[in-house]
Amino acid sequence: MKKLIATALVAPWLLAAPVVLADIEVGVINSLSGPFAAFGERYQAGMEVALEEINAGGGVRGEPLALSVQDDRSEATSALAAIESLNRQDVPLIMGSYASSITGPMAQLMTRQEIPLIVLGSADNSITKPGSPWVFRAKHNSSIVAKSYFDYFDFLREGDDSLNTVAMLYGNGAWPASLAEEGARLAKERGYKIVGDQSYDQGTSDFRPILNRFRSEEPDLLYVVAYAEDGVAIARQMREVNLNPKAVAIDTGAALPSFIDQVGDLAEYVVTVVSWSKDVQYKGVEDLYERLKAKTGEEPTFYEAEGYLALRVAADALERAESLERSDVRDALAETDLDTPVTHVAFENFDGFQGQNPIRSLVLQIQDGEHVTVFPTDLAAEDVRYPTPAWEER
């Protein structure tokens, strides 16, 4: 019986072991099933585009690059098992995962086991603050995103000094909560008055009670952090209750092309912060847009771009590393200075962060049914449209 148990435990590993070993294999832990699969699929597509590009350009260190992908079922314990599994394959580094509840434990374990981690999706501050010498994040975090929104608000205030009050509405997940925390801090620091601060539990997308409360406060700015479906509901219900702020920011939800499809005309004037957009003024961006689009058959988003970015960073470090030993790979990652069509990458230690790329986030505004980069001004494709007209005037 005991033998049977042991065999039962080990057999799947033997079966699952790859038959043909590529020359250089990097580990990927991604949410391919479970509640985060929608994001996992997008990251996967982005990584595949980067992989094709890298191998078409001769691979890494003269050999083809391959991905060893493990599903984390959108849960932390499976991700930890996947780390052990990839560790046995001796991968030089691992990329992963989407949620902070998965990426947090991964970062902890990999730091202790001294395996370099390139963060794929999680944007929570806590992953790189205080961080560790083994954890690297090329994409943004809560501080950077919140700062982008308030820099944008400051920019608007330069032209309209009546901008003063802000109302905040956010989900109670880790990302919305941390973005709201940072937002509240910045609002105080920069002299905005918070007239509404409400969080919600995911459920039946009824925001009317909250929006009605806000209406009586007449906020100048509305700062919303919500995922896709809730973002759409909020945009629609704002019109229903006739809430008219001068500027509306909806993080995450409003960044997806489906937001515009679903909300239609009501989406106009809404802004959202992303790490990448197809019209940003970086070299090679049109080409990347075309390839991402060909891969998924849909309008690409910053999710695919971030997947692409993570693998580009990995390949660049592997190319430059003295050997494929993990400590050498880590040293190479720390020295990264890479230009990509997504952003520039250099990992730095600042403001208590470690191994964080101080990426410049972009503020997109929805104009005539398209996401358009409007801020920071030197990367912008169009001018900001401001103020948002009241619903009756549209």
Examine residue 295 and tell whether it contacts another protein (CB under 8 A). no
Nearest to 121 by CA among 135, 133, 103: 103
Out of 158, 189, 204, 392, which residue is the one contacting another protein (CB under 8 A)? Answer: 204
String of contacts with another protein for each residue 223-262, x by CB under 8 A:
-----xx--xx--xx-xxxx---------------x--xx
CA distances from 392 to 166, 209, 240, 247, 285 (A): 22, 21, 11, 16, 38
Q: Which of 45, 50, 67, 70 binds another protein (CB under 8 A)?
A: 70
364 token code pair: 């997109």
Min CB(23)–another protein separation in Å = 22
Give yes or no for residue 100 binding another protein (CB under 8 A): yes
Measured from the CB atom, the residue of 177 and 338 that comes closer to another protein is 177
By CB under 8 A, residue 218 contacts another protein: no
Among 55, 126, 327, 349, binds another protein (CB under 8 A): 126
Smallest separation, CB 179 to another protein (Å): 10
Q: Which of 151, 153, 369 is nearest to 247 (CA)?
A: 153
Which residue in 2, 62, 162, 350 binds another protein (CB under 8 A)?
2
Which of 45, 107, 117, 332 lies at the binding interface for another protein (CB under 8 A)?
107
Q: Which is nearer to another protein, 23 or 240 (CB)?
A: 240
Q: Are 185 and 156 in contact (CB under 8 A)?
A: no
E strand or H helix that includes residue 215: helix 208-217
User: Which helix (H) or strand (E) is 146 found in, with range?
Assistant: helix 142-159
| Closest approach of another protein to the CB of residue 59, in Å | 25
In the bound state with another protein, the residue whose beta carbon lies nearer, of 36 and 375, is 36
Closest by CA to 317, choosing from 123, 60, 90, is 60
Q: How many C-beta neighbours within 10 Å does residue 270 have?
A: 27
Among 130, 162, 189, 350, binds another protein (CB under 8 A): 130
Interhelix angle 174-189/142-159, rounded to 10 degrees, is 40
Residues of 374-387 as b/e, b for ≥16 C-beta within 10 angstroms?
bbeeebbbeebbbb
Gap between the Cα atoms of 210 and 266, Å rounded: 19
Return the SS3 of 283: coil
Q: How far is the CB of 254 from another protein (least distance, A)?
A: 14
* 143 lies in the site for another protein, by CB under 8 A: no
Residue 116 near residue 91, CB atoms below 8 Å: no
Binding flag, residue 128, another protein (CB under 8 A): no
User: Under the criterion CB under 8 A, does residue 7 sit at the interface with another protein?
Assistant: no
Tell me which stretch binds another protein (CB under 8 A): 19-27, 104-112, 158-166, 308-316: 104-112
Query: How many chain residues touch another protein (CB under 8 A)?
Result: 85
Q: Of the two residues 161 and 392, which places its CB atom closer to another protein in the complex?
A: 392
Q: Which is nearer to another protein, 178 or 365 (CB)?
A: 178
Torsion sign (Cα): 182, 360, 65, 42: positive
**Selected binder of another protein within 5, 19, 20, 56 (CB under 8 A):** 5
